[in-house]
A and B are shown apart, each in its own frame.
Chain A
Amino acid sequence: MTASTGRSYRRPIALFWWLSRRSYLLFVLRELSAVFVAWFVVYLLLLVNAIGDGAPSYARFVDWSGSSWVLVLNLIALAFVLLHVVTWFGLAPRAMVVRLRGHRIPPPQIVAAHYLAWLLLSAIVAWVVLR
């Protein structure tokens, strides 16, 4: 350890400080969900590229996406993305205060509205893809 020459002292923090408590770990897992969001964008663009290249190319993409490591990666990614959904919607009432005719809409209703919008959009996407 080098002697501190500065005016202030900072208590050293362990590199893996976020392993020391469950709430810290959950915080870091939530932050890491963004890595899987980025993976999804890569995967989506590969899919778009395959569909754009024609039917044989799309068939090859589906084969590749069925290989075990891609499936496992996507399952892990889905779990992290769902963690993102739950934490994101859970924080929504703190990020927005909605007033209707002078009354503040209670936080549980704001969370419920987010889940409702989520279900509705998911149903629309599924219908567009699968109809």
Chain B
Amino acid sequence: MNHRRSPEPLLWLLFSSGGMAAALMVPILLFLFGIAIPLDWFDPSYDHLSAVLHNWITRLILFGLSALALFHWAHRFRYTLYDGLQLKRYGTPIAALCYGGAVAGSVIAAALLLTI
């Protein structure tokens, strides 16, 4: 076995940065935009939200959060399928699907955040 070229350390680093980013940022964003604003507890104006979103710092943070969170998902989901459903024999297609999905999602996020 050739361990020198293993991508695992990089994938683990992305997983763990994504886990930290998601833990720090997702609860408040999900609470505000997924529960509080839909239930009308708060009603920030469209102009304000649009101004915040068009700030390049916001876009950079949202891109970083999206990409890292997706790689966090990819890594965990891959091992959930391996262990939870004992699908290790399909390891290669599962890994391709998970990390491929994370790459595709990151590209979509970048394209969206650059063009709005």
**Which A residues have a C-beta under 8 Å from some C-beta of B?**
13, 15, 18, 28, 31-35, 37-38, 40-41, 43-45, 47-49, 51-52, 55, 58-59, 62, 65-66, 70-71, 74-75, 77-78, 81-82, 84-85, 88-89, 95, 114, 117-118, 121-122, 125-126, 128-131
Contacts of B37 in A (CB 8 A): 62, 65
| Chain B residues within CB distance 8 Å of chain A | 16, 18-20, 22-35, 37-40, 42, 44, 46, 48-50, 52-53, 58, 62, 65-66, 69-70, 72-73, 75-77, 79-80, 84-86, 105, 108-109, 112-113, 115-116
Task: Report yes or no: B108 in contact with A31, Cβ–Cβ below 8 A.
Answer: no
By the criterion CB–CB under 8 Å, are B38 and A121 in contact? no
Overall SS of chain B's interface = helix
Q: Is the CB of A125 within 8 A of B28?
A: yes
For A88, list chain B residues within 8 Å (CB).
Answer: 19-20, 23
CB-based closest 8 A-B pairs: A52-B116, A74-B34, A34-B76, A38-B73, A122-B28, A66-B38, A65-B38, A31-B80
- Collect the chain B residues with CB atoms within 8 Å of residue A89's CB: 23
B80 & A45 in contact (Cβ 8 Å cutoff): no
